[in-house]
């Protein structure tokens, strides 16, 4: 992951590429009939342009289930120097690494890694879907993955609170890096 220092503050830019649920589409006013790949393609293109305009690279975490749909966008991200990470197999309720048994986590992470690596070569960074992770997950990832440092310290309630209040996310990160 690329860490950028702006005015002495470390900045790490990451983006999650995962499917929108039906509820998210309704919440954000996105027609249920609009194709997932079209939505993702447009969003990724906008992020590529924005990051290019400000001259920085980011890490894009992608679910294995989406790789075929967004293959062109993944190739463009690689071409532009962005890093591609694993964001689980499907991003559905079965990808809750805070609750899955070790063997099932291992199977899902290995499958996701193999699928993503068919599209982008070696994958070395991981972010659990819905940022739910456990000590078992961290043990599995020791085999060659890196992970977001703040994710593993959150429980489900903390993350749910943060998603309801984006300012909390900023405060959490500032506290983590002792920037205040």
In a domain, residue 172? The reply is no
Each residue of 64-82: pLDDT tens digit?
989 998 999 999 999 999 9
**Measured between alpha carbons, how far is 17 from 163 in angstroms, rounded to an integer?**
17
Task: Tell me how many domains the chain contains.
Answer: 1
Task: Kindly state the tokens that stand for 133.
Answer: 């992770």
Strands (DSSP E) contained in 58-115 are: 59-62, 83-86
pLDDT at 127 over 80: yes
In a domain, residue 115? The reply is yes
Q: In 92-134, where does DSSP find H-type helix?
A: 102-120
pTM of the model: 0.75
Q: Say what percent of the chain tops pLDDT 70.
A: 74
In a domain, residue 160? The reply is no
Q: What is the pLDDT of residue 39?
A: 79
Q: What is the pLDDT of residue 60?
A: 93
In a domain, residue 101? The reply is yes
**Measured between alpha carbons, how far is 18 from 130 in angstroms, rounded to an integer?**
10
Q: Which domain holds residue 51?
A: 3-148
In a domain, residue 111? The reply is yes
pLDDT at 102 over 60: yes
In a domain, residue 41? The reply is yes
In a domain, residue 176? The reply is no
pLDDT class of 54 with cuts at 50, 70, 90: confident
Each residue of 160-179: pLDDT tens digit?
554 455 444 445 545 554 54
Domain CATH for 103: 3.20.20.370
Residue 49 phi/psi, 5° resolution?
-65, -45
CA angle 42, 64, 148 (to 5 degrees): 90
Using alpha carbons, list the distances in angstroms from residue 151 to 8, 13, 56, 163: 23, 15, 23, 13
Give me the mean pLDDT over the 108-126 stretch.
Answer: 92
In a domain, residue 163? The reply is no
């Amino acid at each position: 992951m690329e860490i950028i220092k702006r005015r002495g503050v470390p900045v790490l830019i990451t983006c999650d590429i995962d499917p929108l649920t039906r509820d998210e589409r309704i919440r954000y006013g996105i027609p249920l009939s609009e194709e997932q790949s079209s939505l993702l393609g447009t969003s990724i293109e906008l992020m590529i342009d924005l990051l290019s305009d400000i001259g920085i690279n980011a890490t894009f975490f992608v679910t294995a289930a989406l790789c075929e749909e967004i293959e062109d966008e993944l190739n463009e991200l690689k071409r532009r120097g962005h890093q591609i990470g694993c964001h689980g197999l499907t991003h559905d309720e079965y990808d809750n690494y805070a609750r899955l048994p070790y063997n099932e986590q291992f199977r899902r992470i290995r499958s996701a890694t193999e699928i993503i690596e068919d599209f982008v070569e070696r994958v070395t960074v991981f972010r659990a879907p819905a940022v739910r992770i456990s000590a078992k997950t961290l043990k599995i990832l020791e085999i060659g993955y890196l992970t977001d440092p703040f994710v593993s310290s959150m429980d489900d309630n903390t993350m749910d609170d943060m998603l309801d209040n984006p300012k909390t996310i900023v405060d959490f990160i500032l506290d983590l890096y002792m920037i205040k």
